[in-house]
Amino acid sequence: MATAEPIYQLATTVQVYDNIRTVEAQLRNCKIESLPERYLWPAEVVENPKPANDEAVAKEEAQNLSIPVVDLAEIDGASEEVRGKIARAMGKACEEWGFFQVINTGIPTTVMDDVNTSAREFFAFPVEQMEKATEPPGKPLMGYGGRLSFLSSKVPWYEYLGEFHTPEPGVEALAKNVWEDGNPRFCKAITDYCNSLEQLGLLILELLAESLNLPKDTYSQHFDKNSNYRGTWRFNYYTPCPKATQTVGQGPHSDPDALTILRQDQVAGLQVRKGNTWVTVEPLPGAFVVNVGDFLQAWSNDRFPSVEHRAFVNEKTDRLSIVYFMSPPPMLNIEAPSGLIGENQQSVFRTFTYAEYLGIMFKNRVTGDFSKKPLDLMRRGTEAAN
Ligand code: OGA
Ligand code: NI
């Protein structure tokens, strides 16, 4: 079970700060004047980075850009030709953006409505109640949390609630800590949601393999129920921030997984890096935002980049995103398939495991030095890769 794995134990030395809601209330009641230092991100992160020489052009470019949309309406029983077309569109989006939105997934509206209601129910609780779901020891990023980041020294202005869906679903134990009766409705909403998202994720992984002319199960075989893959659900809740322009909901990061599928509500906030600028992901009703994580970048031999993204916060409006993360089995060797490696060439990344990658991520947390991104260290030719 995940809790017993020593790689997770590295992450247990965490500083306990005031809850974000307490800070928000202190600001609103003028008990404190400015955001505590830990939430003040550097100007170049908070502001939109633009090419130094021509801001007007950058702004116009950003306004005209939007991440590709892939329509799955015709995927069920599709002819080879139609399926190929969809796969190519998805592959192109991943090569050019590392991101796309997917529409007409066939996931029933009720599944998303129920999970949305469940998330809102949780974050409407007073802090003491939410804290009953506080991260269990040795299980970083699970349960209820916020207050620190595993990817940066600054703290993002958000709260989360999450647990494993696979290999061992954690929702029931979590719900028992929060609700006396274990809230079966909440558990069911999350389980139905995870099962649907898992299916969608498997389909996307198949289509992406097909787009690279690889056997369709090249990636998806590692994510079926018996594979010991790590499937995690997470709600990100961005509570309004009275000093929204000084902080971020999530700092620039790439995802430490293979594939991320995110449902945002109708409030914008997610931004994707495109060259020197950030492109806001427009909320499309019913769409999921899909992005390539670090493992798929390595697995695609660098064809699909795991692109940096961030989330901003608003002064008055809250924002919720519901995410399903798919990470490989911890001990599986990640290596690009031979079909993607030219003759007499080596893969771009050396072989590594998710466990090894997490070890670096948690060590960064402990040392406070985030300059070494785990995936960069796996690139052949870098010091640590030898
Ligand atoms: C994440 C993430 C963005 C958002 O959870 O990794 O990038 O819009 N979330 O919530
Ligand atoms: Ni992310």
Q: Distance between CA 155 and CA 143 in Å, rounded? A: 18
- DSSP alpha helix (H) spans, 124-258: 127-130, 171-178, 184-211, 217-220
User: Average pLDDT in the 58-70 region?
Assistant: 76
> Which atom of ligand 1 lies closest to the CA of 253?
7
**Does the beta carbon of 289 sit less than 6 angstroms from any atom of ligand 1?**
no
Q: What six digits make up the tokens of 281?
A: 């992901």
Q: What is the CA radius of gyration of the chain?
A: 20
Measured in whole angstroms, the distance separating CA 116 from the mean position of its chain's CA atoms is 17
Q: What is the pLDDT of residues 198-252, one digit of tens each?
A: 999 999 999 999 999 999 999 999 998 888 999 999 999 999 999 988 999 999 9
Any atom of ligand 1 within 6 Å of the Cβ of 321: yes
Q: What is the Å distance from ligand 2's center to 255 Cα?
A: 5
Neighbours of ion ligand 2 (CB under 5 A): 255
Identify which of 31-40, 67-76, 266-275 has the greatest average pLDDT.
67-76
Sequence-ordered list of residues with C-beta below 8 angstroms from that of 350, at least 6 positions apart, any chain:
378, 379, 380, 385
Length of the chain: 386
Residue closest via CA to ligand 1's atom 6 equals: 255
DSSP letters along 17-37, please?
Answer: ---HHHHHHHHHTTSSSS--G
3-state SS assignment for residue 277: strand
Residue 156 CB: number of other CB atoms within 10 A?
Answer: 27
pLDDT of the residue at 60: 60
Cβ distance 179 to 186 under 8 Å?
yes
| Tens digit of each residue's pLDDT (9 = 90 or more) over 268-326 | 999 999 988 889 999 999 999 999 999 999 999 999 999 999 999 999 999 999 999 99
Does the pLDDT value for residue 72 go beyond 60? yes
Q: Which of 116, 257, 262 to mutate to test the pocket of ligand 1 (most atoms within 8 A of CB)?
A: 262
Q: What is the pLDDT of residue 4?
A: 41
CA distance 115 to 319: 15
**CA–centroid distance, residue 310 to ligand 2 (Å):** 7
| Ligand 1 contact, 319 CB (< 6 A) | no
> CB of 255 closer than 6 A to ligand 1?
yes
Residues 6+ apart with CB under 8 A from 3: 136, 138, 139
Task: Kindly tell me if the per-residue pLDDT of 171 is higher than 50.
Answer: yes
Cβ of 257 less than 6 Å from ligand 1: no
365 among known catalytic residues:
no
Q: What is the pLDDT of residue 13?
A: 45
d(CA 251, CA 156): 6
Distances in whole angstroms, Cα of residue 211 to Cα of each of 184, 214, 227: 40, 7, 23
Angle between helices 109-123 and 184-211 (to 10 degrees): 120
Span from the CA of 152 to the centroid of ligand 2 (angstroms): 13
Backbone angle region of 268, left / alpha / beta, with phi > 0 → left and psi within -120 to 50 → alpha: beta
Distance of alpha carbon 282 from alpha carbon 273, whole angstroms: 14
C-alpha of residue 70 to centroid of ligand 1, in Å: 20
Kindly state if the Cβ of 277 falls inside 6 Å of ligand 1.
Answer: no
**Which tokens sit at 152?**
């940066």
The label of the residue with tokens 């003759």 reads: 343
Amino acid at 33: E
More confident residue, 63 or 280: 280
12 confidence band (pLDDT: 50, 70, 90)? very low
Which helix (H) or strand (E) covers residue 378, if one does? Answer: helix 374-378
Ligand 1 test: best mutation among 321, 324, 327, most atoms within 8 Å of CB? Answer: 321
> CB of 265 closer than 6 A to ligand 1?
no
Q: Which atom of ligand 1 is nearest to the CA of 289?
A: 8
Share of the chain above pLDDT 70, in %: 90
Categorise residue 104: left if φ over 0, alpha if ψ from -120 to 50, beta otherwise: left
pLDDT tens-digit readout, 322-338: 999 999 999 999 999 99
- Residue 312 Cα to ligand 1 midpoint, Å, equals 10
Distances 285 to 37, 241, 254 between C-alpha atoms, Å: 36, 25, 25
- d(CA 331, CA 41) in angstroms, rounded, equals 35
Ligand nearest to the CA of 141: 1
Residue with the smallest CA separation from ligand 1 atom 10 is: 321
Residue in 234, 263, 310, 319 annotated catalytic: 319
Decide: pTM greater than 0.85.
yes
Contact of 345 with 283, CB cutoff 8 Å? no
294 lines ligand 1 (CB under 6 A): no
Average pLDDT value over all residues in the chain: 89
pLDDT band at 54 (very low <50, low <70, confident <90, very high): low
Q: Is the pLDDT of residue 57 over 60?
A: no
Pair 98, 291: CB distance under 8 Å: yes
Which pLDDT value is given to residue 45? 82
User: pLDDT tens digits for 92-105?
Assistant: 999 999 999 999 99
Residue 132, number of CB atoms within 10 A of its CB: 14
Give distance in angstroms: CA of 338 to centre of ligand 1.
32
Q: Tokens for 314?
A: 């608003």
Ligand 1 lined by 264 (C-beta under 6 Å): yes
Ligand 2 centroid, distance to 188 Cα (angstroms) = 25
Q: What was the pLDDT predicted at 248?
A: 92
| Whether the CB of 156 sits within 6 Å of ligand 1 | no
